[in-house]
């Protein structure tokens, strides 16, 4: 048998009236599948889901049929599949990721600091980072597909979103998803806490069975979908060690001489080894690197990116120039297909980069490209990203719209070169990857540009509909 769908970690097989899901031992780091594996990782992921499915079946049915390979086709009745394989019911999946937050952290904390809400839900004043919320909150998001946006939405918006796919059922399904999500979280969080573990937040995915009943699908409360903290010594903003709350899973070190998965609480990047760009990504030490950071979510941004890839590839032989795309989003697969179809060389998709490693990527880059425009909910992240690049001394080449944002403020701590066409973008990349030309440009315009906080600039642009 061959899988009908193969992800970074899981493989899905069609078994007629059911599906068989295999969690492999593969390691996905920066959304790149590494050559080495973690023994029994697939078993751990599968058995965690099985445990939670069994624990919560009194609240809502789930898609699990069995994890006993002896009840599956002969192909799976081998030691290779033992413990890591689950036979599941086929479902019509609902187009929402049902996120529940019991503690204020991550993107919810960033939103709370900005406007006192987490994904549109108003929260009490005076909360500290990682603090437990008075009651768990439900913050759904759309599921990204090619040609669509992946974004956090309000409960009210989720009704309209579901209505598009299931006319006449939007309000009913939205209410059931919200209520089931919170009920599942409460039971599981209470159980975990009684065993010394805090479940800060998690996401569930649901589908409809053949009778139209809502059923839990996908996985449940694994490290891939949840944030786990040690309860011992916990206090708002801290864990026993005194550092920021850290996810158990992301403390896993993988080959400390090359790549390490680390949390934001890591005290120093130097303590976590270095990234060997030549060994991990095949980029020669002498090559120039054009770096793109961010979610590929907008058609205009995607168009700029793909055309820039094509134009930059024409400079490859002359300049030994590579394009490294770090990020994710619904249009990323389209970009990969474009690269494959046009046989573009020297293009690397590095996936999502942990914050602890970003400076290393900026330092390695010759030019940082920003080919799209921030949405209102992401101005702070964009601002931090641009400031990080500028602080690392990396030239930032951006769209004309983003570059124009610099004209809104006075003062100076960095330079951004804007462009108004794809050709100008390609030429700017080629020109300013030359460090001496970039430094000369900085001197020429130092008195004209000055930006203290790019988040403020982006916010002004958006608020003014610029």
Q: For residue 446, what are its two tokens?
A: 């130092």
Whole-number Cα distances in Å, 397 to 381, 382, 430: 17, 14, 10
pLDDT at 185 over 80: yes
Residue 81 — pLDDT band, cuts 50, 70, 90?
very high
pLDDT at 22 over 50: yes
Higher per-residue pLDDT: 389 or 201: 201
pTM above 0.75, yes or no: no
pLDDT at 63 over 60: yes
Q: For residue 424, what are its two tokens?
A: 């100008």
DSSP string, 99-135: EEEEE--HHHHHHHHHHSEETTEE--TTPPTTPEEEE
Q: Which of 123, 97, 103, 101 is nearest to 112 (CA)?
A: 123
pLDDT at 402 over 90: no
Please give the average per-residue pLDDT across 19-32, as a whole number: 76
Q: Which of 153, 114, 119 is nearest to 133 (CA)?
A: 119
Whether 402 contacts 373, CB under 8 Å: yes
pLDDT at 17 over 70: yes
Lowest mean per-residue pLDDT among 8-12, 93-97, 214-218, 288-292:
288-292
Whole-number Cα distances in Å, 433 to 94, 264, 441: 46, 30, 12
Percent of the chain residues topping a pLDDT of 90: 36
3-state secondary structure of 150: coil
Please give the average per-residue pLDDT across 50-58, as a whole number: 97
Please give the average per-residue pLDDT across 322-328, as a whole number: 78
Residue 259 — pLDDT band, cuts 50, 70, 90?
very low
Higher per-residue pLDDT: 139 or 380: 139
Give me the pLDDT at residue 347, please. Answer: 82
Residue 445 — pLDDT band, cuts 50, 70, 90?
low
- In angstroms, the CA 96 to CA 177 distance is 9
pLDDT at 374 over 60: no
pLDDT at 187 over 90: yes
Higher per-residue pLDDT: 411 or 325: 325
3-state secondary structure of 268: coil
pLDDT digits (tens, 9 = 90+) for 303-321: 666 666 666 656 555 557 7
**Mean pLDDT score of the chain:** 75
pLDDT at 235 over 70: yes
- In angstroms, the CA 404 to CA 278 distance is 36
Q: Given CA atoms 252, 253, 259, 264 in this order, what sign does their dihedral have?
A: positive
Whether 297 contacts 374, CB under 8 Å: no
pLDDT digits (tens, 9 = 90+) for 111-130: 888 889 988 899 999 999 89
pLDDT digits (tens, 9 = 90+) for 391-400: 676 777 665 4
- In angstroms, the CA 69 to CA 21 distance is 11
> How many Cβ atoms sit within 10 Å of the Cβ of residue 363?
11
Give me the pLDDT at residue 134, please. Answer: 95
pLDDT digits (tens, 9 = 90+) for 447-460: 444 444 445 555 55
Residue 360 — pLDDT band, cuts 50, 70, 90?
confident
Q: How many residues does the chain have?
A: 466
Give me the pLDDT at residue 324, please. Answer: 83
pLDDT at 285 over 60: yes
Largest CA-CA distance found in the chain, in angstroms, rounded? 74
> How many Cβ atoms sit within 10 Å of the Cβ of residue 261?
19
Percent of the chain residues topping a pLDDT of 70: 61
pLDDT at 83 over 90: yes
């Amino acid at each position: 048998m061959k899988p009908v769908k193969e992800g970074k970690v899981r493989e899905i097989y069609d078994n007629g009236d059911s599906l068989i899901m295999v969690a492999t031992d593969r390691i996905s780091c920066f959304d790149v599948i590494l050559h080495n594996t973690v023994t029994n990782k697939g078993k751990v992921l599968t058995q965690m889901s099985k445990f939670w499915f069994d624990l919560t079946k009194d609240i809502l049915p789930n898609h699990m049929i069995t994890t006993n390979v002896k009840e599956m086709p002969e192909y799976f009745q081998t030691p290779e599949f033992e413990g890591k394989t689950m036979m599941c019911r086929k479902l019509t999946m609902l187009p929402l990721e049902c996120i529940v937050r019991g503690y204020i952290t991550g993107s919810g904390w960033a939103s709370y600091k900005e406007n006192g809400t987490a994904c549109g839900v108003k929260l009490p004043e005076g909360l500290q980072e990682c603090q437990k919320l008075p009651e768990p909150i439900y913050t759904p998001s759309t599921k990204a597909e090619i040609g669509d946006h992946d974004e956090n939405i309000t409960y009210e918006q989720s009704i309209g979103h579901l209505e598009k796919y299931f006319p006449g059922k939007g309000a009913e399904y939205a209410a059931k998803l919200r209520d089931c999500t919170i009920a599942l979280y409460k039971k599981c969080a209470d159980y975990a806490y009684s065993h010394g573990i805090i479940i800060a937040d998690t996401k569930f995915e649901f589908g409809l069975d053949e009778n139209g009943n809502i059923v839990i699908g996908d996985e449940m409360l694994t490290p891939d979908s949840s944030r786990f903290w040690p309860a011992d010594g916990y206090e708002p903003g801290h864990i026993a060690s005194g550092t920021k709350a850290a996810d158990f899973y992301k403390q896993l070190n993988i080959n400390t001489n090359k790549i390490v998965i680390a949390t934001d609480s890591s005290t120093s990047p130097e303590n976590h080894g270095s990234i060997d760009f030549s060994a991990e990504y095949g980029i020669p030490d002498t090559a120039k690197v054009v770096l793109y950071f961010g979610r590929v979510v907008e058609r205009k941004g995607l168009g700029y990116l793909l055309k820039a890839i094509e134009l930059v590839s024409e400079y490859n032989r002359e300049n030994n120039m590579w394009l490294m795309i770090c990020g994710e989003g619904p249009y990323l697969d389209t970009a990969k297909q474009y690269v494959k179809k046009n046989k573009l060389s020297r293009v690397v998709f590095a996936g999502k980069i942990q914050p602890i490693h970003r400076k290393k990527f900026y330092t390695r880059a010759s030019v940082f490209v920003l080919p799209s425009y921030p949405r209102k909910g992401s101005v702070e992240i964009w601002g931090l990203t641009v400031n990080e690049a500028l602080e690392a001394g990396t030239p930032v080449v951006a769209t004309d719209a983003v570059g124009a944002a610099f004209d809104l403020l006075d003062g100076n701590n960095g330079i951004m070169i804007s462009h108004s066409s794809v050709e100008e973008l390609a030429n700017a990349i080629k020109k300013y990857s030359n460090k001496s030309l970039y430094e000369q440009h900085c001197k020429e315009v130092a008195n004209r540009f000055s930006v203290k906080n790019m988040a403020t600039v982006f916010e002004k642009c958006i608020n003014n509909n610029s």
